[in-house]
Chain A
Amino acid sequence: MNLNFFDQFSSPSLLGIPLILIAMMFPALLLPSPGNRWINNRLSTLQLWFINLITKQLMIPLDKKGHKWALILTSLMMFLLLTNLLGLLPYTFTPTTQLSMNLALAFPLWLATLLTGLRNQPSVSLGHLLPEGTPTLLIPALILIETTSLLIRPLALGVRLTANLTAGHLLIQLISTATTTLMTTMPVVSLLTLAVLLLLTILEVAVAMIQAYVFVLLLSLYLQENI
């Protein structure tokens, strides 16, 4: 297989059949469904513990109305976490490198928080556009700035995730290409780049987990403002 650097980001297809849906649904296969036992096996116990941890972390700042969002936020977190981590394996396609998918996740959720806020407590939601204690002269400018920052949020969410993962994957590809090319001519330098690649891989694992967490955390923060 001869790959250029961007083949990994193209939407996978087999004989013209798009496989993107399978790629997106695959992480769900890795999660065991909780059986009808009281004491489960280790994987189910750990999964349950982890999901409880995430849900509690996300839901503590929210009041009772926000708890309706628990399911979608937790499942979003699990999806992003698994997708990002699985994408680090070789020859795998990471759906979250596609801007289309990330915007499709970010935009509706952000819009939902915004509309919830505007519908239930419009003045409080609009009040967030003006931070407390600003000097009177700055008010018009600040309102414009805050509105812009509000409207740019879905873009920021989507692009942040896409950019982080795409950049990480590209860097891995580039450095491993350098390692491969240098192996024949300057093996010692190749070993150096290999060391860099190892560190980068560890970084990418961390970034994968952090980006998933940040995405969901920001959504929960937007929810806190508006619920």
Chain B
Amino acid sequence: LTRSLVPSAPAALRALPPPVAVGVLHTTRPLHTTQQSLAPLPPLPEKGGEVRHGLIPEEFFQFLYPKTGVTGPYMLGTGLLLYFLSKEIYVINHETVAAACILTVIIYGIKKFGADVAAFADKLNEEKMAAAVAMKNEAIQTLQTAIEEEKKEQWRVEGRSFLFDAKRNNIAMLLETNYRERLLMVYNEVKKRLDYQVAMQNLRRQKEQEHMIQWVEKNVVQSITPQQQKESIAKCILDLKALSKSAHAAV
């Protein structure tokens, strides 16, 4: 197909690769330049031609009416029939009886079932139309729903600023919280360092105190001579005795 189309095309078109060339050729082909003869078709008439006795069109009766009146065509028919019968152009034989029977059956069938069959045919057409109309309505409904949805979305867009403010506040709070936390952390760290120094000083003082007390005690104990020890012990005993006497007296 490309080989048949492309050689007749201009050189610029031929320069393109064949698939693209064919596509370009198709899109640049003029479309719908003439009124299509197929559409729109004239609508079908609502009813068929008027027929009398199921066979003879009404136009025949109208045609004979000016000259012969209402009974004209019937006279013509009867006369023709009698002519054929009397001149034996139509011979009455067994086929006549058979014809009478089959015509009876046919006419009975048409009279009994004709209307039903016509209604059935109409129903088939109606169903076809109804299906197409239903599809069309459904498509319209879908599109209208889509329009409603779109309008709602547009309304929602108006509230966008509130959403952004809320988000902005949220973020600011998060940042604030984070800052405060870090501040706290710094404070705690500094306090820990200072506490350490204080504890060190306290410990040093405590140790110095303890050491001094120990040294004083050691020196005092060393300075106590044995003589002094005996004297102090005797004094203590005398004091205790005196105390006990006073205690006995008190009791």
Flag if B101 contacts A194 (CB, 8 Å). Answer: yes
Q: B245 within 8 Å of A by Cβ?
A: no
Flag if A46 contacts B101 (CB, 8 Å). Answer: no
Flag if A1 contacts B93 (CB, 8 Å). Answer: yes
Partner of B101, one of A1, A37, A201: A201
Known contacts: A90-B99, A201-B105, A202-B105. The answer to whether A42 contacts B94 by CB under 8 A is no
Q: Closest Cβ of chain B: how far from A124's Cβ, in Å?
A: 41
For A205, list chain B residues within 8 Å (CB). 105
Interface segment out of the listed A60-68, A111-119, A175-183: A175-183
Known contacts: A42-B121, A45-B124. The answer to whether A180 contacts B101 by CB under 8 A is no
Q: A186 within 8 Å of B by Cβ?
A: no
Q: B158 within 8 Å of A by Cβ?
A: no
Known contacts: A2-B91, A42-B121, A46-B117. The answer to whether A180 contacts B105 by CB under 8 A is no
Flag if B98 contacts A2 (CB, 8 Å). Answer: no
The residue among B38, B94, B105, B124 with the most chain A CB atoms within 10 A of its own CB is B94
Taken residue by residue from 84 to 128, chain B's Cβ proximity to chain A (1 for < 8 Å, 0 otherwise) reads as 000000011111111101101100000000000110111011001
Known contacts: A41-B44, A45-B121, A202-B105. The answer to whether A90 contacts B95 by CB under 8 A is yes
Interface size on B, residues (CB 8 A): 26
Q: B41 within 8 Å of A by Cβ?
A: yes
Q: Closest Cβ of chain A: how far from B148's Cβ, in Å?
A: 33
Nearest residue, chain A, Cβ from B89: A1
Q: Closest Cβ of chain B: how far from A189's Cβ, in Å?
A: 14
Q: Closest Cβ of chain B: how far from A198's Cβ, in Å?
A: 5
Q: A39 within 8 Å of B by Cβ?
A: yes
For B38, list chain A residues within 8 Å (CB). 36
Q: Closest Cβ of chain A: how far from B7's Cβ, in Å?
A: 36
Total cross-chain contacts (CB, 8 A): 78
Partner of A39, one of B91, B96, B104, B129: B129
Q: A6 within 8 Å of B by Cβ?
A: no
Q: A20 within 8 Å of B by Cβ?
A: no
Flag if A42 contacts B122 (CB, 8 Å). Answer: yes
Give Cα A179 to B96, complex, Å.
10
Flag if B98 contacts A197 (CB, 8 Å). Answer: yes
Give Cα A139 to B104, complex, Å.
55
Contacting B at CB under 8 A, from A159-216, are 172-173, 176-177, 179-180, 194, 197-198, 200-202, 205
Q: Closest Cβ of chain B: how far from A50's Cβ, in Å?
A: 11
Nearest residue, chain A, Cβ from B122: A42
Nearest residue, chain A, Cβ from B88: A1
For A137, list chain B residues within 8 Å (CB). none
Q: Closest Cβ of chain A: how far from B196's Cβ, in Å?
A: 93
Give Cα A181 to B159, complex, Å.
102
Partner of A176, one of B98, B104, B122, B124: B98
Partner of A173, one of B41, B94, B129: B94
Flag if B124 contacts A179 (CB, 8 Å). Answer: no
For A39, list chain B residues within 8 Å (CB). 44, 125, 128-129
Q: Closest Cβ of chain A: how far from B53's Cβ, in Å?
A: 18
For B93, list chain A residues within 8 Å (CB). 1-3, 180
The residue among B95, B96, B98 with the most chain A CB atoms within 10 A of its own CB is B98
Give Cα A27 to B145, complex, Å.
54
Q: Closest Cβ of chain A: how far from B99's Cβ, in Å?
A: 4
Taken residue by residue from 124 to 158, chain B's Cβ proximity to chain A (1 for < 8 Å, 0 otherwise) reads as 11001100000000000000000000000000000
Flag if A91 contacts B128 (CB, 8 Å). Answer: no
Flag if B118 contacts A42 (CB, 8 Å). Answer: yes
Flag if A180 contacts B122 (CB, 8 Å). Answer: no
B binding-site residues for A, Cβ under 8 Å: 38, 41, 44, 48, 91-99, 101-102, 104-105, 117-118, 120-122, 124-125, 128-129
A binding-site residues for B, Cβ under 8 Å: 1-3, 36-43, 45-46, 49, 88-91, 172-173, 176-177, 179-180, 194, 197-198, 200-202, 205
> In the complex, given contacts A39-B44, A45-B125, A201-B104, what are 11 additional A-B residue pairs having Cβ atoms less than 8 angstroms apart?
A37-B41, A41-B48, A42-B118, A42-B121, A46-B117, A90-B98, A90-B99, A176-B97, A179-B97, A194-B101, A198-B104
11 contacts between A and B (CB under 8 A): A2-B93, A40-B125, A41-B44, A42-B118, A90-B102, A91-B95, A176-B94, A179-B97, A198-B104, A201-B101, A205-B105
Q: Which 5 A-B pairs have the closest CB atoms?
A: A90-B99, A42-B121, A176-B97, A176-B94, A177-B94
